[in-house]
Amino acid sequence: MKNFRINTTAFQEEDFTLYTDLNEEQIIGVIAPIVKDERDGGESYDNDDLVSALIKAYPNNFISHYNEPEIISI
């Protein structure tokens, strides 16, 4: 399992983190066409749409996401 920080815009606050057994190529293969389509004037998306597309493409893999990690101050 790995954590991947996903960045699709110029705004860092729109990044999200995936915890998954997918590899980088699998993730990019699903997300890049969605991002490119929006940039070319297509349908807009949000982070949940991207995660849903990954789950649809890889229903037997583990895919979890979060927008901001919990912080533990000690």
Is residue 58 within 8 Å of residue 26, measured between CB atoms?
Answer: yes
Domain coverage including residue 59: 2-66
Question: Domain for residue 36, yes or no?
Answer: yes
Beta-bridge partner residues of 6: 16
| Angular region, 55: left φ>0, alpha ψ -120 to 50, beta rest | alpha
Tokens of residue 60, six digits: 């037997």
Residue 38 confidence (pLDDT): 92
Q: In sequence order, which residues have a C-beta less than 8 Å from that of residue 24 and are 6 or more positions away?
A: 4
pLDDT score, position 11: 79
Q: Look at residue 72 and tell me if it is in a domain.
A: no
For residue 12, the model assigns a pLDDT of 79
Residue 38 lies in a domain: yes
Encoded tokens for 13: 């606050």
Supply the pLDDT for residue 45: 92
* Domains held by the chain: number: 1
Query: pLDDT for 31-55, tens place per residue?
Result: 999 999 999 999 999 999 999 999 9
The answer to whether position 73 is within a domain reads no
For the stretch 8-27, pLDDT in tens is: 987 777 889 999 999 999 99
Confirm whether 31 is domain-assigned: yes
